[in-house]
Structure 1
């Protein structure tokens, strides 16, 4: 993460910083990564433009932190809920229920897509996304192992990629049959799982 200039913000400064991050996250999905500017962020946040550079060393650093904050919040909310599922079927049901609001064209989905694209060009962002993906894979693998899955590590990687892929596909295929995908994923992840850990469809 990028540190802001000066001492750590407190009180009103923390609130202003949060507003700037929220504004940047909204704008990435609306206008694209490269079009976010100091002026746009300040206007959206309702603050003086000088505060953008008081709290962040550059607009690029602000946008990177905003994207990673949003990405972490979304994926760990999913993983935390998923980890409470006691079997594979319940977990897949949880996953698809969580994904339904993410249409591929909503602000959060667009932000994630912009972030992944920017990560192919920015080394710091790429490293942060890579670390996040690895952590998500590990937590998914832990959950699958607890469900009795015979190959939790590789399956967790496929499961994580599936989540990203569905978001990308829904952006161009809005009528994607999520129910059909859900049944297929349940069968795939339930294969070889003992009855007490997961149930075959």
Structure 2
């Protein structure tokens, strides 16, 4: 490919990414349904028509932007969990990490908006559902590799739901101390004491 063709392609990718970043930020700031093409273009520093060059609609832009953020977050948590050999230590890390996100954190707000939008948008629901299923599959595999004595698939579902639930509760109660749920969560992923009885 010639350099004359590569330069416009690279510039197009940069512009597309700027639009995705702008849309992701706006979802958290004003809500999914309030984001417009004009707002995204202004935030990205491009003309409004450029949005429709890269995305068929504002919903397509919002879906792509939110899935990008969700995918990155889920991969980050999966990768970090893989680095912990002890599930209890992983729980402590996870709670500390979740504690860094306040109720007004843009990524947290984006995820809440995205889950709500997914109830009304089958395409988004399917793609987000696939990401969550993959996250649960990775977590279940991680638990099995560490000798988890129970149903690893069910435990992975619970962990994903706990993450979502804790972040929703933080939005309602900013004073919520996530470390307070450490003991029961560690017990969930620790050794099953009933097996020794």
1:92 equivalent in alignment to 2:88: no
Aligned match of 2:4: none
Aligned match of 2:54: 55
List aligned pairs for 1:1-201, cutoff 5 A.
Answer: 10-150=9-149, 151-192=151-192
For the 8 Å contact 1:78–1:98, the answer to whether it is kept is no
Q: CA deviation at 1:161?
A: 0.5
Map Cα deviations across residues 29-85 of structure 1 (whole Å, 9 max, x no partner). 011101110110011001111110001111100000000000000111011011110
Q: CA deviation at 1:100?
A: 1.6
Aligned-partner Cα distance in 1 for 2:178–2:125: 29
Aligned-partner Cα distance in 2 for 1:104–1:115: 15
For the 8 Å contact 2:96–2:178, the answer to whether it is kept is no
CA RMSD, Structure 1 to Structure 2 (Å): 1.2
Q: CA deviation at 1:166?
A: 0.5
Aligned length: 185
Aligned-partner Cα distance in 2 for 1:23–1:174: 26
Q: CA deviation at 1:183?
A: 1.9
Choose between structure 1 and 2: higher helix proportion.
2
Aligned-partner Cα distance in 2 for 1:104–1:144: 30
